[in-house]
Structure 1
Amino acid sequence: MGDADSTDRSGEHRAYIGSFTSGGGRGVTIAAVDPKTGALTPLSVATAEDPSYLALARDAGVLYAVSETERGGVAAFRRTAGGLAPLGAPVSVGGSGPTHVSVAGGRLFTANYTSGSVSSLPLDAEGRPHGPARVLAHRGSGPDAARQAGPHAHQVLPDPTGRWVLSVDLGTDSVRVCAPDPASGGLRQHAETALRAGTGPRHLVFHPEDAFVYVLHELEPQVTVCRWNTALGQLEPVGEVPVASEGASGVVRAYPSAIVASPDGRFVWAAVRGTDALATLSLADGPGRPRLTGTVACGGSWPRDLAADATGSRLYAANEHSGDVTWFDVDPSTGRPHRAGALAVPAATCVVLG
């Protein structure tokens, strides 16, 4: 696949915002990002059905959007100066309710929440996915009968080397380490790391420099800190840290959603629904010892996704229920976000910068 700059011909950066069309969203909103202020200005909209999560292959200039529907699909778009151009029709992922998409090694991966599986699809030279999808089904359950009666894969993410692919399963309280199978084109399970029962792991993020992974839980406002062994493909839990201030989740239940790390490896931020907050974790004591230093209001309601810019100086929260994307300036010393503005985007679910 060819190369593409992270800016359009005018030099403006872009933000791509997914939304639930079944909840009144428009599809994928394309917005210009002011490099000085971080402000978003809407430019155009690309049609997609319930594009709840997006992934941008920057080098290829292709954006991928899952359709979080019962039949499950993924669409590809070529980036253009004016917005996005479809690269063919959406393709089935072979699973229902896909909630996450990622790309590595010429393949596209989706986590299929409803069916509890992960899928792998090859990409052609233009970046188009094509089937049939290779599907790896998860097995297991958890103690929360309402949410964990079976597997619910929520995220599938390659490690920084691309050698391994990690899938986070809310239903089984575990993270699976998989390896791409060159023979079948699918994923084969290499190992499974059990996390504390009933916590409902949702998303993880790798530390940008050290061998640590931070797993955010949806059913408890906690992050599990794990040591990551790239050579062996092993994930080892070493501790937990809260993402809600003491007593904050006692009145309103907290449902953490998204987690990001600063590019310089000094901070980790988490979005927490219910309490509608953004939590800041400092890594000043070391990457294996994050410490909650405070929370701030997310600027809306039900922050489903969170993104940091390339410098770590700004954060963007996609607030689903209030229908907006709020941006924050980050204090370079403390990592504390300060609200700077918002853009109305009905049923916003995801924001990707590039």
Structure 2
Amino acid sequence: MIAFVLLLVAFATCCCAGAPHGLETLLVSSYNDGNETSGFVRALRAAKISHDSWDLTTVFSDPTSCGRSPSWLTLDEKRGILYCLDEGLDTPNGSINTFKITRGRHGKIEPADNKETVSGPVSAVLYGPKHKQFLVAAHYTGSAVTTWETKKDGGIEYGEVFDFEMDAPGPDPDRQDAPHPHQAILDPTGKFILIPDLGADLVRVYSFDGKTGDLTAQSPLVAKPGSGPRHGAFFTWKSKQCKKGCTNFYLVSELENTVTTYSVAYGKGGNLTFTETAVISTFGDGPTPDGAAAAEILVSPDHRFVTVSNRNDTSFAIPEGANVQLKSDSLATFSIKSDGSLKFENLASAAGSFPRAISFNKKGNMVAVAHQYSKSLVLLDRNPVTGFIGGELARMNDLGNLTSVVWG
């Protein structure tokens, strides 16, 4: 097993012990783009140059240990483990791969384990008690959900598989030919797992056994036919009208380019119930461009805003050399009102094509955007007070078809 030694003290400090002022670390994954034999997992160091400029440099790059189609990264910061899903776009199966991050002056990232799995894993989340963590993965092309027991040394052991079928295609037969689980989400109580299924127009809901990690299916959330649920996010709050605390679930539908708000109730028997309260376009009151496909949704670190990435809408243009303008997709910002409902605020340039993944830093003053088609990672300025997303702070191009980004 090859150990990749990171001689930069900055990386060891940023990734494992909290970033000093002016230094950040990001972890990104990318598909192979036809010119490479595999995809990549990279660690990038972001160093502040001035108040409106950062520099991005690569401090770790692994082209071998997460297959040809790395699709999702899940970081366990406490145990120093990075989980990478290989979607297996051109192989019969996907895989789940782990990296162990060693702390210290000469920090290392080294491959720890890999296991073959059902094809098409595109999202995963950790669940279970702190002393015994499990991983659940959503498999898009494999029409399945799998679970895995995780080890402190980075090892993983196969748990369960849930296979799904449909009696007939959905309203959009090209995209809804079969169940297509697209994300794995842990609810705010840490007791339930939600799986938006784009093909079946469902959000599958599971409770689990904390000792074994075994899942138990609960009543699903039934979405609008043909909407194509893709990703979701929870929001909890307290107010005069909600003294004991309330919970909302925001669901992005890729095929309709909408965010649906549901109020969530926790029943005495343990089941979740969802009540639809509002539906809002990811383009506000404006028209939805042909071919647009909403992707990621995030609640801001201060829980005051929601941001959604829109792909293939080409709502903006960005300069590229003398007299050249490139089309850019968009990021939609919504403010969260006192009752948990959403208000569309504005569209901002995503500074690239097909923003498949977005991620806020902890302060919420930057958003990292991973572009699948323009193959670029861009850091955008963000005002935490207004939620407004501004101009570029840093850009790194030629990174392959980016699929995931997380802050270290």
- TM-score calculated relative to the size of structure 1: 0.91
- Which residue does 1:55 correspond to in 2? 74
With 65-74 and 329-338 compared, the bigger mean Cα shift is at: 329-338
Structure showing greater Rg:
2
Residue in structure 2 matched with residue 260 of structure 1 by the alignment: 298
Aligned equivalent of 2:275: 236
Deviation track 1:154-194 (CA, whole Å, cap 9, x = no partner) reads 00111122211111100111111101245764322111011
Work out the CA distance in 2 between the residues paired with 1:134 and 1:334.
44
Question: Is 2:16–2:77's contact at 8 Å kept on the other side of the alignment?
Answer: no
TM-score, with structure 2 as normaliser: 0.79
Distance 1:162 1:211 in 2: 13
Give the equivalent residue in structure 2 for 1:171.
199
Considering fraction of residues, name the structure with more strand. Answer: 2
1:319 counterpart letter in structure 2? H
Answer yes or no: is the 8 Å Cα contact 1:136–1:186 preserved in 2: no
> After superposition, what is the alpha-carbon deviation per residue over 1:40-67, rounded to whole angstroms, capped at 9, x for unaligned?
3221212322111110011111110000
State the partner residue of 2:59: 43
Q: Does 1:138 align with 2:177?
A: no
Aligned to 1:113: 140
Q: How far apart, CA to CA, are the structure 2 residues paired with 1:24 and 1:196? A: 40
- Alignment match, 2:378: 326
Q: Is the 8 A contact 1:5 1:61 kept in 2?
A: no
- 1:1-354 equivalences under 5 Å are 7-8=15-16, 11=20, 12-24=23-35, 26-34=39-47, 39-46=55-62, 47=64, 48-49=66-67, 50-69=69-88, 70-80=92-102, 81-82=106-107, 84-88=109-113, 90-93=114-117, 95-105=118-128, 106-131=133-158, 133-140=159-166, 141-181=169-209, 185-207=213-235, 209=237, 210-230=246-266, 232-250=271-289, 252-275=290-313, 276-283=329-336, 285-286=337-338, 288-340=340-392, 341-344=394-397, 345-354=399-408
How far off its partner does 1:34 sit?
A: 3.0
Q: Secondary structure at the match of 2:70?
A: coil
Task: Number of aligned residue pairs: give it.
Answer: 346
Greater Cα shift, 164-173 or 338-347: 338-347
Equivalent pair of 1:30/1:83 in contact (CA under 8 Å): no
Cα distance, 1:205 vs. partner? 1.0
CA distance in structure 1 between the aligned counterparts of 2:371 and 2:108, rounded to whole angstroms: 22
Tell me, which stretches of 5 or more residues in structure 2 are unaligned? Answer: 1-11, 238-245, 314-328
SS of corresponding position for 1:244: coil
CA contact (8 A) 2:16 2:80 kept: no
Alpha carbons of 1:245 and 1:33: their partners in 2 closer, same or farther (altered >3 Å)?
Answer: same
Amino acid at match of 1:261: V
2:30 partner amino acid: S
Structure 1 residues 23 and 249: CA distance shift in structure 2, 3 A = farther
The aligned counterpart of 2:3 is none
What displacement does 1:22 show?
5.0
Structure 1 residues 8 and 59, CA, compared in 2 at 3 Å: closer, same or farther?
A: closer
CA distance in structure 2 between the aligned counterparts of 1:258 and 1:23, rounded to whole angstroms: 25
Contact 2:334 2:345 in 1 (8 A): yes
Cα RMSD between the aligned structures? 2.2
Residue ranges of structure 1 left out of the alignment (5+ in a row): none
The 3 A distance-change label for structure 1 pair 212 and 6 is: farther
3-state secondary structure, aligned to 1:155: coil
